Every structure is written in structure tokens, then in C-alpha cells.
Amino acid sequence: MTHLTVYHEDDPGLPELATGDPVVLVGHLAMTGILFERWSATHPVSQDADSAAILSAYAPDVERLCANRGYRSVDVARVVSGSDNIGTLRAMFLDEHTHGEDEARFFVEGSGAFYLHLDQRVFRIVCEAGDLLSIPGGTRHWFDMGPTPHFTAIRFFTHPDGWRAVPTGSGIAARFPGYDGSIDRTR
Ligand SMILES: [Fe+2]
């Protein structure tokens, strides 16, 4: 189940809120201006579905989001543990950074943890299949796919050349609990 944990930036050991209640979760994220939605496929998607089949299954929501947010391209990214470069790939997103455009992801399968640094708080959102999260450009954040990553995600881009990560150099991410792949481990 999707899970939200909210911390003060100076106290990663004592969450102010930890919830898997979708109503509470959506309400808290809405107050921050972060877009979070739950999507359902229009028809079943097989485990080995190719990108076209995946995009077809979520076409109404994909098209609506692109129209509403101005996203001009999408792709489907698959990450599975066992790949040679998995440690490098995980490390690429583990430090706090920003982007010049939104980071919008829809999880078709698997899971991963986003950490959003909003004012003096850190929102840790463990996303799973069916979750759409859009992080506005300029938002300080990081992402942990866990030590044994497994997810398939639809990615949305405003510019055809994709997005670039700009490190903040704050070091804050190292002070917060990582993601071990378990939805229930929130502290
Ligand atoms: Fe990012």
C-alpha cells in the first residue's frame, strides 16, 4: 500500500506523521501542491507487456495528464535488480537534487520511495503500482529504488531531451532512512 511519512528536516528519527490511509495521504499532498493520483488500467496488462501495450492500457489518464500539465513526451522505464549497473543507477538519484521541469512518474508495477523536501519538512512517499506522482520543477527531492529495485514506470517529459538533475549539495538525504523495498518499513 502507498505510504506517506512526514518528518521535520532536523528530526529524521521521529516522524510527525506516518499513514497508509489514502484519504489522509492525498489530503496532505494536496496541501503541498504535489499531484498524487491513483490510476487503473482500462484493460489487463500482462507482465511482459511492451511499452506500447502499457501506454495503451493507461491512455485516457496519460493523455489527460499531458494535456493538463503540458507534458510533450512519455516513455516506459523498467528497472529490475540483477542488472550490472543497478548500484550505480540507484546512487544517481539518492542525493537531494532539483530539475528544471516536473518529475512525473506513474508506477505500473513495483515500488520506490520519493523524498520531497518542502520548506522545513521531508515527505517520504512510497509509491506502488497504480500511483501517479508529479513533483513540480525546482522542488528539492531524492529517490530511493531500494537495494533490489523492481519497478516499471511511465515517465512524462516537458522537453524532448528529458530532464537533468541539479544536485543541491545539502547532504540531507544521508540523514534519512533509506528504502529497503518493504512498504511497511517507514522509520
Ligand atoms: Fe529527480
> Cα angle vertex 65, ends 67, 98, to 5°?
105
Please check whether residue 144 is in contact with residue 98, taking contact to mean a CB–CB distance below 8 angstroms: no
Binding residues, as ranges, are 97, 99, 103, 141
Specify the fold of 3-175: Jelly Rolls (2.60.120)
Q: How many Å lie between the centroid of ligand 1 and the Cα of residue 16?
A: 24
Q: What is the DSSP letter of 174?
A: G
Q: Note down pLDDT in tens along the chain; length 187 residues.
A: 799 999 999 999 999 999 999 899 999 999 998 999 999 999 999 988 999 999 999 999 999 999 999 999 999 999 987 777 888 889 999 999 999 999 999 999 999 999 999 999 999 999 999 999 999 999 999 999 999 999 999 999 998 665 789 999 999 999 999 998 765 444 3
The pLDDT, as a whole number, for residue 180 is 87
CA of 112 to the centre of ligand 1 (A): 12
> What is the rounded distance in angstroms from the CA atom of residue 49 to the CA atom of residue 116?
31
pLDDT at residue 108 in the model: 97
Ligand 1 mean position to 143 CA, how many Å? Answer: 7
Give pLDDT, residue 162.
58
What was the pLDDT predicted at 83?
Answer: 75
Annotated binding site for Ni(2+): 97, 99, 103, 141
3-state DSSP assignment of residue 165: coil
Cell of 13: 528519527
* 157, 73 contact by CB (below 8 A): yes
State residue 47's pLDDT score: 86
